[in-house]
Structure 1
């Protein structure tokens, strides 16, 4: 097999993107379109991963990795499942008020792990559905039904209920205890959540809800970068997977004379500087070996792992510069930063692949690796794959290569209306702009 670091950038990205996409074909249940959270045995479904899958199928069609008929079949299976799912909110149901439980049984589609009704994960699922609704525009019975299902699912979500009469959207709800005691506060991946909640023609959140959210932001100067703080890299990527945030600004960003895309670019520089300084002296850290994000990691409960005397966090939202940090890095999080700083990302990915080739199998990146932790004398590498990692890699490589998802979502009136309701102006939101409209 060709060694990835020896290829041109384009060939290397093509192989890694296709390998990442293969995750969805390997883990989907074709009977209901649901996709496993991880490739590990008996993994449940993550509703967010289903949203990523729905977004990745059009990419696979355009790249020649999948036939349109097969993509429509899988997409329809998922959308029909969610339309017909149990929305009673009971402990063994699928959802409530148009939202869905975070984790579901891959065969029955019912709640598992006593997971929460998740507002953000529902939003990521619906973002994938809206992507499908924009892409499949043929005048056929199947694609017509698909678009109708997308509209039904989006309009069923009771976004206003998710506020629970508070200032911001709540993070979740459980049938046993009601709403979780915390809302979406502080900068996060929730821009796409708020945009959809603002743009809803049926159950929109209150007009001041988005302003209440941005009022909780934390603005800092880190390593000489003025910056809207969020520690993990995925926060700076997920909304950008669907929404082209270049050059459009909400009131908060207008006041700071920047935008969210430039803020994500700053996140790359801050990550590089942090690992270059390497305050905890972890093995491997330098300006071309970075990537602190939400990812799998070694744990203290595994006795065969040899490391320095320090705490290991398992799966955690690792971040810069305030942690947590145990020496674990996510190569997918680096690759998904490609649109923001392509030269720096490619330099880092090539470096990481040269130094730690074990973190790829058949060109697919593992969730994470930790050069400071050895298992039986070998580099610690996450076991199996995570759907969110593979999906964000596919989507952000495509946004870098062709802008396909950004073009599709520019044509989604719900997203456009929601952004404008939140106060975004400029760039492609200008009234004369019709790029991508369908």
Structure 2
């Protein structure tokens, strides 16, 4: 069974980005000359600011949204440089809020960009309110993610909706322009027809629908993976909501989502689809929790802080033990997630370990393991230096085993880094999202409780 739209990228595009690039002599010298001169706090801000630029300076010009990928080597798949990603674009929207709050940009500049984005999203292709996985940036028309994947993508749409709610909450009390942007974000959120994606009223949500191919992608989304936020938002929608049974019978599989499995002494808590007895790629602890606050969040199936923290600790311990003996793994270099890989795109995890470290895995886990994640940040920045650090922060992935250091970025991997670091530092996005009245009602409807927020 497919567990992620991002893993599907491998099969659909048959990408093979296996460029084995070593840094130039100048870069190597610069890397060697790096010294531990920045405090941890200053380094965190630098990582946030430089990564934020992917979504600011690097954005597609017509939409203002994130490009699917940016390759500093200039080599792209055919006709790919104008591709906008809805999920990664949503992460980028959250990055703009971080940039405004941290002073990386002025509030006025941020509001203008958000205005550009919501106006673009209103006119772009939608399918029962849901955007597709990819859009052609200059036109706003769907760019098929695969032959039959040329319609609505409810998971990508959920990532964008999570961000739009944060925008609404952030700007609702502002000036006239800000209130107008907040109102447009609210309108776009309320136009998403979550109920349509039940495929005729079933108690499960389907990932895709196409006006040309209907339901032929045939992918009912069941847990556990990165899609919890989709079910929370579907239950929360005041216009096209779904009953609680859709969550309990579909996502939670009538309780079968739970597991008693442990690894390295840590409870796995929920069954990671397709990863029996172990954990999945690290992004499963990130994408749904950019806005949804896992601190003290519980329902009848899980304690979501325990779930995500344990996944992080298990992955770290796996890389320390390093059963496949890859070069460079250890307490300072851990984290396996979906990213570029030596032989193409891969959903790295302890079950699919190819010797590739993806910086986003440990960095976006900063709220769960701040000290351990900081050790990775320091190692990457101080020791590997320009081999892994570039114009938009740390590159997507690397392998010391294969001497593979591609200068390439993916929106879906860069996006969670500044957001999750900010959530640990100030709680910004968590507090915005959890303050939305519909979110509170949706969580209560599904049986959630929170020790951090009044539901």
TM-score category of the 2 structures, normalised to the smaller one:
0.7 to 0.9
Q: Does 1:240 align with 2:271?
A: no
Counterpart CA distance in 1 for 2:228 and 2:44 is 27
- 2:257: which partner in 1? 217
CA 1:266/1:5 → structure 2, altered by over 3 Å: closer, same or farther? Answer: farther
Counterpart CA distance in 2 for 1:201 and 1:14 is 37
Q: Does 1:13 align with 2:79?
A: no
Counterpart CA distance in 1 for 2:82 and 2:360 is 20
Counterpart CA distance in 2 for 1:429 and 1:364 is 32
TM norm structure 2 = 0.83
* Match runs of 1:316-395 below 5 Å: 316-320=346-350, 322=351, 324-357=352-385, 358-362=387-391, 364-373=393-402, 379-395=403-419
CA shift, 1:234, in A, is: 0.5
Alpha-carbon RMSD? 1.9
- 1:75: which partner in 2? 114
CA 1:36/1:363 → structure 2, altered by over 3 Å: closer, same or farther? Answer: closer
Q: Does 1:55 align with 2:55?
A: no
- Which stretch of the first structure deviates more once superposed, 393-402 or 170-179? 170-179
- 2:179: which partner in 1? 144
1:176-210 Cα deviation digits (max 9, x unpaired): 32222222112112222111100111111122011
Counterpart CA distance in 2 for 1:278 and 1:384 is 26
Counterpart CA distance in 2 for 1:205 and 1:422 is 10
TM norm structure 1 = 0.86
SS of residue paired to 1:385: strand
Counterpart CA distance in 2 for 1:348 and 1:79 is 36
Q: Retained in 2: the 8 A contact 1:272–1:288?
A: no
Structure 1 gap segments, 5+ residues each:
86-93, 254-258, 300-313, 374-378, 432-438
Aligned residues: 397
1:287-328 Cα deviation digits (max 9, x unpaired): 3321100111111xxxxxxxxxxxxxx1121112x2x22111
CA 1:211/1:178 → structure 2, altered by over 3 Å: closer, same or farther? Answer: same
* Match runs of 1:273-312 below 5 Å: 273-299=317-343
- 1:376: which partner in 2? none
CA 1:199/1:141 → structure 2, altered by over 3 Å: closer, same or farther? Answer: same
Q: Does 1:128 align with 2:156?
A: no
Counterpart CA distance in 1 for 2:381 and 2:44 is 13
SS of residue paired to 2:111: helix
Counterpart CA distance in 1 for 2:174 and 2:369 is 39
- 1:192: which partner in 2? 229
Q: Retained in 2: the 8 A contact 1:272–1:287?
A: yes
Counterpart CA distance in 2 for 1:266 and 1:9 is 24
CA 1:4/1:171 → structure 2, altered by over 3 Å: closer, same or farther? Answer: farther
Moved over 6 A (4+): none
- 1:34: which partner in 2? 65
CA shift, 1:4, in A, is: 7.0
1:107 to 104, 128, 138: 138
Q: Does 1:173 align with 2:202?
A: no
Q: Retained in 2: the 8 A contact 1:162–1:170?
A: yes
Structure 2 gap segments, 5+ residues each:
1-29, 273-278
Q: Retained in 1: the 8 A contact 2:65–2:92?
A: no
1:23-60 Cα deviation digits (max 9, x unpaired): 11222234432321111351510011221121111211
- 1:434: which partner in 2? none
